[in-house]
Amino acid sequence: MNREILRLAVPNILSNITVPMMGVVDTALMGHLPDAHYLVSLGVGVAVFNFVYWGFGFLRMGSTGFASQAYGARDTGKLSLVLFRAGLLGLFIALLLLLFRQGIWQLGAWIIKPDEAALIHAREYFHIRIWAAPANMLLLVLTGWFLGLQNAFYALLIAIFSNAVNIGLSIFFVRYAGMAIDGVAWGTVWAQYSGLLLAIFLLIFRYRSYLRIPQLKELLHWQELRQFFSVNGNIFIRTLALIFVFTWFTAQSARLGSDILAVNTIFLQMLAVVSYGLDGFAYAAESLTGKYIGRGDRSSLQRMIGRLFVWGFALSALLSLSYLFFHVPILRFFTSHENVILLAGSFSIWIVLAPLANNFAYLWDGIYIGATAGRSMRNSMLIAAFVIFVPLDLFLQALWGNHGLWLAFTLFMISRGFYLWKGYRKNILGFQS
C-alpha cells in the first residue's frame, strides 16, 4: 500500500511544487524591482485570478473523481464521456470569462481596493493573463483525467514543462526585455498554451483508443448528467467559499497597509508551496479512493487512508521545520526591501505552523473528491468560512491586527479538517454499502 501511495504521490508532489514556483519566481522578480508597488500589484492580480480560476477547480477534481471510479470499474466508455463532458464545459466557461473579463476585473478591484499605483499595474496584469483562460480550463480537465487513470507521471510532465516555460519567459521578459508586470503576465499566457499542446499530444499518444466521440444522447444522459453537475456544482460552491476566504484575507491585508499586504503576499506564496506539496498526497488519495470505490474494496480503502495520514504528517512536519529555520533566507529571496523583511519576521510563526495546521484539511479533501462526496465538502467549507473564519477575523483582527487575521485563518483550516474527519464513516465508507 505504501508503494502504491508513493507511486502516485511523489510525481504529484513534484508536479505540484512546480506550480507555486511560477508564483515564487514572479513574486521575486517583482520584489526586486525598484518600485515596491509592483510586488503589491502582483498580489492584487493573483488574488483576482484566484477568484477567477480556483472557482473552476472542480473541472480537475470532478474529472479525477469520476475518471478514477470508471477506471476502477474498468468502464472505458464512461472514461470517454467524463473527458468530453468536462472538456466541453471547460471551453464554455473560458468563453464566458473572456466575454465578461472587464466586469470580472472591476469586481475584483472593488473587493480588494488597493491603492491607485498598485491598481494600474494589477489591471495590466489581469487583462493580459485572462487570455490564457481556454488553455487553463482544458489543462484542468486533462490533468484531472490523467490522475483518474492513475497516471501521475503525465501530470508531472505537463506541470514541469509548462512551468519551466513560464519561469524562463518571465525571467527573459523582465530581466532582458525591459518589461515589468506585463512580462510575467505574458510568460503565464504562453506557458499555459504550451502545456496544453503537450497534454493533447500525450492524450493522443497513450489514450487514443479511449477517444471515442460520444453521441449527443450519451452526453445528455439525464441521470449521469445530473450526478455530474451535482458533484461539480457542490465542489464549485465549496471552491467559491475558499476563494472568498483568500480574497477576504487579501482585502483585509490591504486595509492593514501596503507593507502588511506585501508581507502577506509573500507568506501566501510560501503557503502555496505547502498546499501544493501536501496536495501531492491528496491527489494520490483522489485516484486511489475513486479506484477502490469503483471496485467496491472497502478494506484497501481504509488501509490506504491510514497510511496516507502518516505520510502527510511526515511531510508537513518537514515543511514546518524548514520554515522555522530558513524563513529569513526565504524572505530575502522574495524581496530586497528591508522594511518588508523586518516586518515579516514579526509574523513568521504563522507560516511555521501552517503545514501542520492545514495538513488534515488537504488530505481529507482528496479523499472526499475521489469519493465524489461533493456535498460534504461544500458544507465543511461553508461552515469553516462563514461560521468560523469571518466572525473570528472581525473579532481577533480588532484585537491583534495581522496576528488576529492569521489566527482566524489557521482556525479556519483546522475546522475544515475536523468537519470532514467527523463525517468520514458515513460519507466515505457509506459508499461501499
User: Cα–Cα distances in Å, from 28 out to 171, 246, 262, 265, 288?
Assistant: 10, 21, 12, 11, 37
> What are the φ and ψ backbone dihedral angles of 297, each rounded to 5 degrees?
-100, 85
Q: Which long-range contacts (CB under 8 A, 24 or more apart) does 406-413 make?
A: 406/347, 406/350, 407/350, 409/245, 409/249, 409/350, 410/350, 410/353, 410/354, 410/357, 412/245, 412/384, 412/385, 412/388, 413/354, 413/357, 413/358, 413/361, 413/384
Q: In the prediction, which pLDDT does 433 show? A: 39
What is the C-alpha separation between 97 and 104, in angstroms, rounded? 8
Residue-wise DSSP of 256-289: T-HHHHHHHHHHHHHHHHHHHHHHHHHHHHHHHH
* 189-206 residues labelled b (16+ CB within 10 A) or e (exposed): bbbbbbbbebbeebbeee
Q: In the prediction, which pLDDT does 52 show? A: 72
Closest by Cα among 83, 139, 405 to 254: 405
Q: Extract the C-alpha cell encoding 172.
A: 527573459
- 281 near 319, Cβ under 8 Å? no
Q: In the prediction, which pLDDT does 431 show? A: 45
Q: In the prediction, which pLDDT does 72 show? A: 81
Q: For the segment 56-113, what is each residue's pLDDT rounded down to a tens digit? A: 878 888 888 888 888 887 777 788 888 888 898 899 999 999 999 898 888 877 876 6
> How many domains is the chain partitioned into structurally?
1
Q: Give me the count of residues in the chain.
A: 433
What is the C-alpha separation between 67 and 69, in angstroms, rounded? 5
- Please name the amino acid found at residue 174: V
Domain, as residue range, for 383: 2-432
Q: Along the chain (433 residues), what's the average pLDDT of each consecutive run of 10 residues? A: 78 68 64 62 70 77 83 81 88 94 83 69 84 93 90 88 88 82 86 94 89 71 72 85 88 88 87 81 87 84 90 92 89 82 90 92 90 88 96 94 96 94 80 42
pTM above threshold 0.85 = no
What is the C-alpha separation between 300 and 294, in angstroms, rounded? 12
What is the C-alpha separation between 213 and 210, in angstroms, rounded? 9
Name every residue whose Cβ is closer than 8 Å to that of residue 310 and which is 6 or more positions away in sequence: none
Q: In the prediction, which pLDDT does 164 show? A: 87
Q: Angle at which helices 76-99 and 101-112 pack, to 10 degrees?
A: 80
